[in-house]
Amino acid sequence: MVQKNWKIIEFDQGKAEKISKELNVPLILGELLVQRGIETFNEAKSFFRPSLDDLHDPYLMKGMKEAVDRLEAAIKKKEKVLIFGDYDVDGTTSVAMVFHFLSRLSDQLEYYIPDRYTEGYGLSNKAVDHAINNGFSLVITLDCGIKSIDEVARAAESNVDFIVCDHHLPSSKIPEAIAVLDPKQEDCNYPYDELCGCGVGFKLLQGLNQRMDLDSEILFSYLDLVSLAIAADIVPIDGENRVLSYLGLKAINKKPRVGIETLLSIKKKDSDYNVNDLVFTLAPRINAAGRIRSGMYAVQLLIEEDKDEAKKVAQLIEEDNIFRRELDSSITEEGLSMLTEMKDGKERKSTVVYDEKWHKGVVGIVASRLIESYFRPTIVLTRSGDIAAGSARSVPGFDLYKALEACTDHLIQFGGHKHAAGMTLKISDIKAFSDCFEETVRSTILDSQLIPEIKIDLELDLNELNHKVFRIIQQMAPFGPKNPEPVLCTRNVVDAGYSRPVGKDDEHLKLTLRQDNGKSIDGIAFGSGKLIDEIKKGTPFNVAYSLQENTWNGVTKLQLMVKDIQFSD
């Protein structure tokens, strides 16, 4: 467990007391709300009771009228329409949603997910050729396309129109499509610009739904897919995303579509599924299809309505996921060994590693794993045909996209956002690119950004923790960026006598903690097994944690999910 800086979140105690009285709720909830900028009764009402009425008018988005005009015309004229999307969760859920919805209106549809290895990310020339050669007159791109200037132009020469639905940062030049839907465009006045790709696709369907006066209940039945994409793409869960996520999770827990239900059955729960379940149970499996086999299988599963067929596809995807985990583990070990052997490995402020044998499908995951040990912007590259391809991950607060922009002379192409990106480059340029990236990071990153930080919401004693506090916190779900799960801290705890290492090679800690000879409480600290000797000495320490409930043999107890341990001075 990497040592982290703790930062206690400051807030106005007077405002917290005021809102807690207005809402007639415990002070702890008022404090947590004020920390998130919720200070009035109406703001709290919108926060706790998200409603479809809170969704924005889709026609406030630049290009929406033109997009709906063209799509409606294609449906009425029975034109062939190709639905194109990226191979990750955001892309495949988008394609499944738009294809399945439009299938009610047209039988002239086909979906297309690019091959990660032969086509790479985004709109490929192969996909454009497919559209031209097979008589498609309209292509809808989802979760990609904002940088596909040349591809869209080439398609236009053959009378293939495009509607681009994307949420990534645009360049100075925009594709000359019939319509471009991307709330991050500078001249787009849509009230919320943090939608994921599936969210932008949903707004297109919402616009079409209004225009054609269709059944809104059918439209909103797709919010389960939108909530899955929001969770997997790690976009902020505030504003419109909170509404979409909240209502989508309700749908998943009440009546999930067949494909989602089939995947969830692999890891059943007695309680409701939450964002973490989407991120750690559903998303890795859906992503595994695109990483190992083909993202087309993910779409097939998400639109499947026959349970037996869904089980067959889910089994293939689960096999992919098992293989993905094996690759992830072995390549991470190789990457860590490589960094250990590098002479300047510890002095660098960035990480760039390359091995031509690494599996392209997991380099993004490996980049995230390396950051856990070397907390700095990280790029993992492998060979893809005659070039190198890779994925980048950043640390909080550092703009990865800008750093890559500064190194464009060494790249064939790149795309992404502040936190994650993908790129291709000549193998002969790897050294020059690595040096440029290191120089750029070194000159722009703050020292504080190279140390992991835990933001602490509240400091409590162990005797203040109970199931009521847990239930209060759970009312604030769904959690995610801009509404993180509250992190608490307690100081000067000691081992109550039962703490022990657990897991493979004793790498984790099962804790039983006590404070001031009061009540004891259990906890789990992943990756902290090496601290067991110090803890067993009776040395006091501080813990940062989130709360969860753990049920065993019918008995439900509170448990601390420990995020960091710091020994008292």
pTM above 0.75, yes or no: yes
Q: Which amino acid is at 356?
A: E
Distances (CA, A) of 108 to 81, 103, 137: 6, 8, 11
What's the rounded Cα separation, in Å, for the pair 191 and 61?
Answer: 8
What's the rounded Cα separation, in Å, for the pair 268 and 11?
Answer: 39
pLDDT at 119: 86
CATH architecture, domain 58-246? Alpha-Beta Complex (3.90)
What's the rounded Cα separation, in Å, for the pair 457 and 471?
Answer: 16
**Kind plus residue range of the DSSP H or E element containing 84:** strand 81-85
CATH 2.40.50.460 location in the chain: 5-9+453-567
Distances (CA, A) of 279 to 37, 319, 413, 509: 26, 18, 28, 23
Phi-psi region of 137 (alpha: psi -120 to 50; beta: other; left: phi over 0): alpha
Phi-psi region of 77 (alpha: psi -120 to 50; beta: other; left: phi over 0): alpha
Topology, domain 5-9+453-567: OB fold (Dihydrolipoamide Acetyltransferase, E2P) (2.40.50)
Phi, psi angles (nearest 5°) of residue 180: -120, 115
What's the rounded Cα separation, in Å, for the pair 321 and 526?
Answer: 22
Q: What is the CATH number of domain 342-450?
A: 3.10.310.30
Sheet holding 161-165, edge to edge: 109-112, 81-85, 138-142, 161-165, 179-181
What's the rounded Cα separation, in Å, for the pair 268 and 122?
Answer: 34
pLDDT at 121: 80
Contacts of 213 (CB under 8 A, 6+ apart): none
Phi-psi region of 421 (alpha: psi -120 to 50; beta: other; left: phi over 0): beta
Helix H segments across 283-397? 283-288, 295-303, 307-341, 363-373
Do 207 and 58 meet the contact criterion of CB atoms below 8 Å apart? yes
Beta strands in 496-554 (DSSP E): 500-502, 508-514, 520-525, 541-552
The packing angle between helices 27-35 and 13-23, to 10°, is 120
Say how many residues make up the chain: 569
Helix H segments across 255-306? 258-264, 275-277, 283-288, 295-303
For the chain, the first-to-last Cα distance in angstroms comes to 19
What's the rounded Cα separation, in Å, for the pair 92 and 220?
Answer: 18
pLDDT at 455: 94
pLDDT at 185: 96
Residue with tokens 């992503």: 287
Per-residue pLDDT of the chain (569 residues; tens, 9 = 90+): 567 899 999 999 999 999 999 999 999 999 999 999 999 999 999 999 999 999 999 999 999 999 999 999 999 999 999 999 999 999 999 999 999 999 999 999 999 999 988 888 889 999 999 999 999 999 999 999 999 999 999 999 999 999 999 999 898 899 999 999 999 999 999 999 999 999 999 999 999 999 999 999 999 999 999 999 999 998 999 999 999 999 999 999 999 999 999 999 887 887 889 999 999 999 999 999 998 999 999 999 999 999 999 999 999 999 999 999 999 999 999 999 999 888 766 789 999 999 999 999 899 999 999 999 999 999 999 999 899 999 999 999 999 999 999 999 999 988 878 888 899 999 999 999 999 999 999 999 999 999 999 999 999 999 999 999 999 999 999 999 899 999 999 999 999 999 999 998 899 999 999 998 788 999 999 989 999 999 999 999 999 999 999 888 888 899 999 999 999 76
Do 113 and 96 meet the contact criterion of CB atoms below 8 Å apart? no
Q: Which amino acid is at 75?
A: I
pLDDT at 277: 92
CATH 3.90.1640.30 location in the chain: 58-246
pLDDT at 345: 62
Q: Which amino acid is at 477?
A: A
Query: What does the radius of gyration of the chain's CA atoms come to, in whole angstroms?
Result: 25
